[in-house]
Amino acid sequence: MLKKAVIFTSLFVLLFAVWTDKASDFIPAVIRQFFIQRSPAQPSPEVLLTLEELQLYNGKDRPELYLSILGEVFDVTKGAKHYGDGCQYNFFVGKDASRNFITGNFNDEDASDQVADLSHDKLLSLKQWKQFYRKHYTKVGKMR
Ligand code: HEM
């Protein structure tokens, strides 16, 4: 009976220490890991990408397809039928071509992230595109 009580109390103390994040070195790493892996996922820190880094996420240099809109970077790999090599909207991959969402000009040499001179209406549609990406794709981070 006493043995059971000792085991129960030890287990309780152990669980309490892990759950309250007071797990110190006396708790073996394997036990801590067991509980940590089952705790809610922490938000991953936001990644900041330079244009050179973003350009690599083109499905070739890196397997993923990323695009940026208004400085927010999204992983559009799951939309490869639109953004993959040779597909209709591949133009947007690996760059921030925010302006081109409005102009509809998909020539590489005309890609631009300059939007300051757009009318309110156009800025609003651009914002709606950003909301579209927030809803349908995973945000990776921001342009540096
Ligand atoms: C400013 C002009 C345009 C822009 C910026 C644009 C942009 C886009 C983008 C980014 C997508 C992919 C959305 C996703 O990730 O699911 C898309 C899809 C599509 N677009 Fe456009 N588009 C334009 C004009 C047009 C026009 C004129 C047509 C038709 C003639 C068209 C037909 C389509 C179709 C059929 C889809 C696929 C929809 C689906 O499968 O869910 N787009 N468009």
* 41 within some domain: no
Testing ligand 1's pocket by substitution, the residue of 68, 88, 95, 130 carrying the most ligand atoms inside 8 A of its CB is: 88
Q: Flag the least confident range among 4-13, 26-35, 73-82, 124-133.
A: 26-35
Residue nearest to atom 18 of ligand 1 (CA): 82
**Residues 76 and 119 reside in one and the same domain:** yes
Please determine, for residue 142, whether its predicted confidence score (pLDDT) is greater than 80.
yes
DSSP, residue by residue, 24-50: -TTS-HHHHHHHHTTSPPPPPPPEEE-
Residue nearest to atom 3 of ligand 1 (CA): 104
Nearest alpha-carbon partner for 127 in 66, 86, 78, 69: 69
pLDDT of residue 35: 56
* 99 within some domain: yes
**Residues 61 and 23 reside in one and the same domain:** no
* 30 within some domain: yes
pLDDT of residue 45: 73
**Residues 65 and 135 reside in one and the same domain:** yes
Please determine, for residue 86, whether its predicted confidence score (pLDDT) is greater than 90.
yes
pTM, two decimal places: 0.77
* 135 within some domain: yes
List all residues 6 or more positions away from 139 whose beta carbon is below 8 Å from its beta carbon: 72, 73, 74, 75, 133
21-43 mean pLDDT: 57
pLDDT of residue 58: 98
Percent of the chain predicted with pLDDT > 90? 68
2-28 mean pLDDT: 58
* 42 within some domain: no
* 119 within some domain: yes
- Structural domain that includes position 53: 47-143
pLDDT per residue over 110-140, tens digit each? 999 999 999 999 999 999 999 999 999 999 9
Residue nearest to atom 9 of ligand 1 (CA): 89
**Residues 52 and 104 reside in one and the same domain:** yes
C-beta of 142 in contact with ligand 1 (< 6 A) = no
pLDDT of residue 47: 96
| Strands lying side by side in the sheet with 66-69 | 47-49, 138-143, 72-75, 66-69
Number of domains in the chain: 2
C-beta of 104 in contact with ligand 1 (< 6 A) = yes
**Residues 65 and 19 reside in one and the same domain:** no
- We report the CATH number of the domain holding residue 76 as 3.10.120.10
